[in-house]
Amino acid sequence: MILRDDVARAARAAVWARAAGMWDGSWRRERCEEILWGIADFFAHLRAGAVEVHGNIPPEVVHPWDCVLDNRYSYIYMYCPGFTIHARGEVPKTAVEAALAELRSRARAAGMVVWNDALIARPAPPDLVGIARGVVRAVRAKLGDLDLAAVVRSEELDAAPVAAALAAIEAGNWVADIHNSRLSIPPRGSGMEVEAYRHAVIARLRDGDEEMDVSIYAAHAPRAMRPAFAAAYAKWYGRLAGFSVERRLEVTWA
């Protein structure tokens, strides 16, 4: 089935957002691979036109943030207001493997903002995209004065993915994942806490009783960004590794 152009764009965006939601380090590797394979299988069906629509596509434009790839049940399908998209028939295993390789590359995801709502990652709507980009800019502005003791709370933290996240913020090949979204919180640098957790750098904004978390992690750097990203990564990895050694020595000598 050939989907209308706006529906096909929304479907592709939902696929990438769902895949990006798997990259924050909070999923077990085995489970992550299982879900990514299912996403790739749906992606391959979508590319081949081997899909069917249940319900009625509205005459109005379907936006990327209208659709979500749902895998809470025994199969993956795409939900959009008024209709759903389902894989139909079989596609070659090579097509699924190619889709999986592309999703794993992440390079096309640089600058993406994902909205995690009840464990389902979807493309963020424009208001959340603006807030997330403002948060990333605020974190980037604070990088020169970043207090590693305040950022790194765990002694067991792996320096490599955190260095990659910090380098991505500096170079531009970041992915932002919004949790607990409260749209009334402005993207200000003041009152923002920055913390490293697993594969991500988390910026936490508070305004009274309201709170917003923005997880920032690295996509693969597109070719034009690779030199800047490599230089930033070497710098941050050196700082984090040195800080980790210093902290362990302090504990040993205490």
Q: Is 144 exposed, middle or buried (CB count within 10 Å of its CB: 0-12, 13-18, 19+)? A: exposed
pLDDT in tens, 30-75: 777 888 899 999 999 999 999 999 999 999 999 999 999 986 666 7
Confidence band for 90, pLDDT divided at 50, 70 and 90: very high
Segment 133-162 shows an average pLDDT of 83
The confidence score (pLDDT) of residue 189 equals: 46
- Given a cut of 60, whether residue 82 has pLDDT beyond it is yes
Q: What is the rounded CA–CA span in Å between residue 101 and residue 233? A: 24
